[in-house]
């Protein structure tokens, strides 16, 4: 990394988690990642993945858990 970028990175690490997330959103927004074309592409990918997961569940090829159950299992396993 260039010195200025390294300096900014170091400063960003000192931010709170909320501040870092806000900075990330701001930076991503500057590159056009929130454009309608990209949004449509992501929406199509989300729908493709949902169909794939649904098919795998119906055919018994997945150990998928609903979000709340998965989070509870992780919390129990890792004590968070």
Same domain for 42 and 24: no
Mark whether 40 and 77 lie in a shared domain: yes
Dihedral (Cα; 11, 32, 17, 80), 10-degree rounding? -140
Q: 19-48: b or e for each residue (b if 16 or more CB lie within 10 Å)?
A: eeeeeeeeeeeeeeeeeeeeeeeeeeeeee
Number of domains in the chain: 2
Per-residue tens of pLDDT for the chain, all 80 residues: 688 999 999 999 999 888 988 888 888 777 666 677 777 888 899 899 989 988 988 898 887 788 888 899 999 999 86
CA 42, chain centre distance (Å):
12
Q: Are residues 3 and 13 in the same domain?
A: yes
24 and 45 inside one domain: no
Report phi then psi at 19, rounded to 5: -65, -40
Q: In whole angstroms, give the CA distance from residue 55 to residue 46.
A: 14
* Amino acid 10: pLDDT: 92
Co-location of 26 and 52 in the same domain? no
| Structural domain for 75, as ranges | 35-80
Shared domain for 25 and 45, answered yes or no, is no
pTM assigned to the model: 0.43
């Amino acid at each position: 990394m260039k010195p200025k970028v390294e300096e900014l990175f170091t400063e960003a690490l000192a931010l709170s988690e909320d501040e870092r997330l806000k900075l990330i959103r701001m930076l991503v927004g500057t590159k056009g990642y929130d454009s309608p074309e990209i949004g449509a592409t992501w929406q199509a990918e989300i729908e493709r993945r949902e169909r794939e997961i649904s098919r795998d569940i119906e055919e018994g090829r997945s150990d998928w858990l609903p979000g709340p159950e998965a989070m509870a299992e992780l919390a129990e396993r890792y004590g968070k």
